[in-house]
Amino acid sequence: MSGFFTSRWVPRPDHVAEAADDTLPAGFRAAGVAAGIKPSGALDVGLLVCDAPDAVSAARFTSSAVVAAPVQVTRERARLDRLRAVVVNSGNANAATGRLGLDEAARVQGAGAMAAGVAAEQVAVASTGVIGVQLDGQAVVRGLLAANGRLSPDGAREFAEAIKTTDAIDKRVTLDVELPSGRVRLAAQCKGAGMISPRFATMLCFVETDAAMSAQTADLLLGVCVKRSFDRCSVDGQLSTNDTAILIASGAGGVRIEPETEDELRFGEALDALLRQLAILIVRDGEGAARVGRVVVRGGDGRAVEAVARAVADSPLVKTALHGGDPNWGRIAQAAGAALAGGAPVPVDIAIEGIPVCRGGAAVRVDQARLDAAVARDEVEYEVRLPGDGAETEVFFSDLGHGYITINAEYTT
């Protein structure tokens, strides 16, 4: 397996290596099956089980005010620090489905408990696909029966297949992480290509490790790393109803991560690199996208810095320019100005791939050939400087091309 860490923005930490085999961390089994929810007949029900009774977990969900039934059920009716199984279906989001949708999600949770041999409150459920159509929970249950018979430590690949919707790029890896106390394994399966947005932006991501840790440590690590990864990426500025990220630590590998130790630091670095690279893969796989942009905004006001970064990342004018390889930085100035609208004029500095193009709000003479070449690369970095110091943020974003229109105007997704 070559090249998970493909982005120059996420160098592989020295103590992290891609695993030679594809086996899940000790204590985990997974499977994926086709249950007929996707009309295409592709895999659409995934089951992940942790066999370690003392496993701990952590979870993060969408902040949307219109949340899918599985998010509601998992958030309210599961012990998020003691999860031991995840049931996922693709092809139907079970969102905007009302009381009936909640019943179906609860039924799937119950069936997942039976299949995994754990308590229902230890089962997370997740869905992705079309919104506003009733989920056939019975189909998921039938899928679970089949998946249960296929559960295997080598099931990560088919589990990852089963959670995909419009994804074209695999978002999955198994890593070995060298900690001072020993080697641990860390794996993740993730999906997302559209409705990817501000304020926590994966659709679904499941992370497993055989390290042992407290539930508090798991929650802290997942929380920090989600903030630096899925929370900083945007395909189309559209916050999903279904976003779910779950970390489960089985402890089956025998290495324990204690708080505020070198182990925790190194494990955190590995998880951070893993989730950041996954976030960039989501952006790279953005529906119809060809290039990935990163906007870094610095200045003296944290809210202004955040607003400008989001405005640039979500501007269809900036995104189409990125798609076309057009160094039209005027659109970046425009987006920044709009984000700060209503106040006094703000002099901005803008650089593209380190080449200053605008200083104090005015164009700078540039080597046009050099600039044209810079924006034609796979990854393009934009820097915006606002007045003042002390605040800085970044957002990774997709370009906007014909493919996005084709996918979203011509199909109900």
Q: Give catalytic residue positions.
A: 202
Q: Which is nearer to its own copies, 28 or 61 (CB)?
A: 61
Element (H, E) at 293: strand 292-299
Q: Which is nearer to its own copies, 159 or 404 (CB)?
A: 404
Q: 253-291 burial by CB neighbour count: b if 16+ within 10 A, else e?
A: bebbbeeeeebbebbbbbbbbbbbbbbbbbbbbbbbbbb
SS3 category, 247: strand
Alpha-carbon dihedral sign for residues 360, 364, 368, 370: negative
Nearest one of 135, 55, 62 to 95, comparing CA atoms: 135
**187-226: contacts with its own copies (CB under 8 A):** 194-195, 197-199
Stretch that binds its own copies, among 10-18, 128-136, 170-178, 294-302 (CB under 8 A): 128-136
Q: Minimum distance between the CB of residue 75 and its own copies, rounded to whole angstroms?
A: 10
Q: In what order do the strands lie in the sheet with 123-130?
A: 28-33, 45-50, 85-92, 123-130
Q: Are the beta carbons of 209 and 176 closer than 8 angstroms?
A: no
Which residue from 40, 98, 368, 369 is in contact with its own copies, where contact means CB under 8 A?
A: 98
**366-405: contacts with its own copies (CB under 8 A):** 399-402, 404-405
Token pair listed for 168: 């074209």
SS3 category, 239: coil
Q: Minimum distance between the CB of residue 244 and its own copies, rounded to whole angstroms?
A: 15
Stretch that binds its own copies, among 161-169, 212-220, 221-229, 342-350 (CB under 8 A): 342-350
**299-318: contacts with its own copies (CB under 8 A):** 314-317
Which residue from 9, 330, 355, 371 is in contact with its own copies, where contact means CB under 8 A?
A: 330
| Neighbour-count burial of 317, counting CB atoms closer than 10 A to its CB (0-12 exposed, 13-18 middle, 19+ buried) | middle
Alpha-carbon dihedral sign for residues 132, 138, 139, 141: positive
Q: Which is nearer to its own copies, 10 or 125 (CB)?
A: 125
Which residue from 11, 41, 66, 182 is in contact with its own copies, where contact means CB under 8 A?
A: 66
* Alpha-carbon gap, residue 392 to 306, rounded angstroms: 8
Backbone angles phi, psi at 357, to 5 degrees: -120, -20
Determine, following the binding rule CB under 8 A, whether residue 49 of this chain makes contact with its own copies. Answer: no
Q: Minimum distance between the CB of residue 170 and its own copies, rounded to whole angstroms?
A: 24
- Bridge partners, residue 209, by sequence: 186, 249
Q: Minimum distance between the CB of residue 284 and its own copies, rounded to whole angstroms?
A: 17
Token pair listed for 115: 């299949």
Q: Which is nearer to its own copies, 137 or 194 (CB)?
A: 194
Please give the single-letter amino acid code of residue 373: A
Q: 152-181 burial by CB neighbour count: b if 16+ within 10 A, else e?
A: ebebbebbbbbbbbbbeebbbbbbbbebeb
Q: Which is nearer to its own copies, 261 or 408 (CB)?
A: 408
Q: Which is nearer to its own copies, 20 or 344 (CB)?
A: 344
**245-304: contacts with its own copies (CB under 8 A):** none
Which residue from 2, 341, 354, 369 is in contact with its own copies, where contact means CB under 8 A?
A: 341
Which residue from 132, 149, 300, 302 is in contact with its own copies, where contact means CB under 8 A?
A: 132
Determine, following the binding rule CB under 8 A, whether residue 146 of this chain makes contact with its own copies. Answer: no
Q: Which is nearer to its own copies, 18 or 326 (CB)?
A: 326
Q: Minimum distance between the CB of residue 193 and its own copies, rounded to whole angstroms?
A: 12
Which residue from 8, 54, 100, 303 is in contact with its own copies, where contact means CB under 8 A?
A: 100
Determine, following the binding rule CB under 8 A, whether residue 136 of this chain makes contact with its own copies. Answer: no
Q: Minimum distance between the CB of residue 325 and its own copies, rounded to whole angstroms?
A: 9
